[in-house]
Amino acid sequence: MTTTTIPAHPAGFASLTFEDRAALTDLVSHLGAALDEHRFDTLRELFTEDATATTPGGAAEGRDDVVAQATRNHIGFTRLHHVMTNVLVEPVEAGDTASEVARTARVRANLTARFAHDDGVPVLTLGAVYRLGVRETAGRWRIAELRVTPVWRTASA
Q: Tens of pLDDT along 31-80?
A: 999 999 999 999 999 999 999 999 999 999 999 999 999 999 999 999 99
| pTM, 2 dp | 0.85
* Domain presence at residue 117: yes
* Domain presence at residue 135: yes
* Domain presence at residue 46: yes
* Domain presence at residue 144: yes
User: Domain containing 88 — which CATH number?
Assistant: 3.10.450.50
Q: Are 115 and 124 in contact (CB under 8 A)?
A: yes
* Domain presence at residue 6: no
* Domain presence at residue 75: yes
Q: In 3D, which of 76, 82, 103, 92 has the Cα closest to residue 28?
A: 82
Q: Are 66 and 47 in contact (CB under 8 A)?
A: yes
- The residue segments making up the domain with residue 131 are 16-155
Q: Percent of the chain beyond pLDDT 90? A: 79
